[in-house]
Amino acid sequence: MKEEILGTVAEIEISYSSQIKPSERPKITTQNDVYRLFIDTWDKTKIELVEQFKVMLLNRCNRVLGICTLTSGNVTGTIADPKQIFSVALKANATSVIIGHNHPSGSLIPSAHDYDITRKIKAAGDLLDLKVTDHLIITLEGFYSFASEGVL
């Protein structure tokens, strides 16, 4: 009986593999560095079409482990699920994250929902001892940094 039960449980394996040497990973020192990396990896055919949510994963030295596109929504919004953000961060053994999303309208003014989700994600990060360093709103013409504005 015991073997039957164990045979029905999936085995979970967690791994992370990088082909980039730690010394060659981009280092984040300013919000401009973050914006440049985000905008360089953004699909320019979608940035003014649909809202997307990304997470940048950092190690203890503020070197970028990777950038993950978590969701792609529609012209007015997308879902940012803290469970997805932190599952990716934990898998990559990140010590901090920077989150970002675009506004297809080109507006850099955060919505009430942007403030709410930022607070929610920061609180989840605090519980996991994973620092949420910043949240950027991205457009082709610039960015809004929640950290620079004192929101984080």
Residue 32 lies in a domain: yes
Residue 56 lies in a domain: yes
Residue 105 lies in a domain: yes
Residue 15 lies in a domain: no
Query: What CATH number corresponds to the domain at position 93?
Result: 3.40.140.10
Residues 6+ apart with CB under 8 A from 11: none
Tell me what pLDDT residue 55 has: 96
Tell me what pLDDT residue 17 has: 72
Predicted TM-score (pTM) of the model is 0.87
Q: Domain span at residue 119?
A: 20-145
Segment 24-81, tens digit of pLDDT: 899 999 999 999 999 999 999 999 999 999 999 999 999 999 999 997 777 777 788 8
Residue 121 lies in a domain: yes
Mean pLDDT, residues 99-103 taken together: 96
Average pLDDT of the chain is 90
Q: Does pLDDT of 13 surpass 80?
A: no
Tell me what pLDDT residue 73 has: 72
Tell me what pLDDT residue 87 has: 93
Residue 1 lies in a domain: no
Q: Is the alpha carbon torsion for 41, 43, 49, 53 positive or negative?
A: negative
Residue 82 lies in a domain: yes
For the chain, the domain total comes to 1
Compute, in degrees rounded to 10, the torsion defined by CA atoms 145, 67, 91, 83. Answer: 50
Residue 104 lies in a domain: yes
